Amino acid sequence: MSFVANKIFNPSGNDDAQTRTIIKGNTTGLFNLNNTKYAWAKSMYTIMIGNFRVPEKVSGLNEDSIQYKQDLTDGEKKAYDGILSFLIFLDSIQTSNLPNFAEYITAPEVQLLLAIQTYQEAIHSQSYATILETVVDAEKRDEIYYFRRENPILLERNTYIGQIYQDFIQNPNDENFFKWLIGNFLLEGLYFYNGFAFFDTLADHQKMKATDRMISYIRRDELTHVTMFTNILREIKKEFPDMRNEKLIYEMFSSAVDQEIKWGQHILGNNIIGMNEYTTEQYTKRLANNRLGVLWLSPLYPEITENPYQHLERLQDNNGEKTNFFESTVTNYTQSNAMQGTRDF
């Protein structure tokens, strides 16, 4: 079945909360945010707005610049550059992708979240620019930005997710939409996290701590994005059960995990203290099981239960407070402690 984008102006539309659906509704083009259906969206709005920040305010990057030149090993520099290149791609493609995705969401309270996410993805791009401008010499910046052109492993996985997005734009039907939705969930929920773990590991060894602080803010946002797409997928299951293709979910997860392991082992190798090819595989599979669980699905790798990065668990809970992003319930959530409880994923 083909998909039709929302009309911008539709006087005959009806998006009353009683008749509203997450997709395929009869939208009016009016953001009536006093009449909402999805309570989780209202809660997430408060969280996402509370995450506002300005990347230029993160201090200490000058010290990171000195450490980058003097203290990082060749393996750590390779990983630092390559992972930044991948993260830059992910946030860049999301900034372009999300407005297209929002055109097919027919709940204004969820469209509002997607607008905030688009803004946050753009801020992430500015965050990476700030890191590169301060830490890396000018002649190396373009090399990092366009590393994906030269590295076949990175190009392969960027092509995988980019083609899923492009397929729906060119052929908007139910199957392609669901693949598009799972692609968003995988990007937000799986693709970033070996890179995040690398920066945390450097910081745990007193290296590049300002970069890790910037990455922590980005991770905080990405976890809310995971939550949002989790809830969208749950609403699809309830409202459009015939669209949910669990076989396809497992196939896409399996492909994404294989690509993430291949890339992680390539860019991290066995050259980072506390990280190696074995831990990369274990962490990626554990994360995939975690993400499948929030979609009410059985683990793809039931034999994987332990987190190989115990230092991430220690970093996660500095003040004994945890945040359950998957269920959108937050304890003691303020801007000052918003980074608590966001690392063990």
Catalytic residues: 128
User: Please, which residues bridge with residue 26 across strands?
Assistant: 14
Tokens in use for 30?
């009016």
Residue recorded with tokens 């590393």? 147
Of 205, 36, 53, 202, the residue nearest 122 (C-alpha): 53
Phi and psi, residue 3, nearest 5°: -105, 145
- For the chain, the farthest-separated pair of C-alpha atoms sits apart, in whole angstroms, at 65
Residue recorded with tokens 């918003």? 338
d(CA 261, CA 290): 16
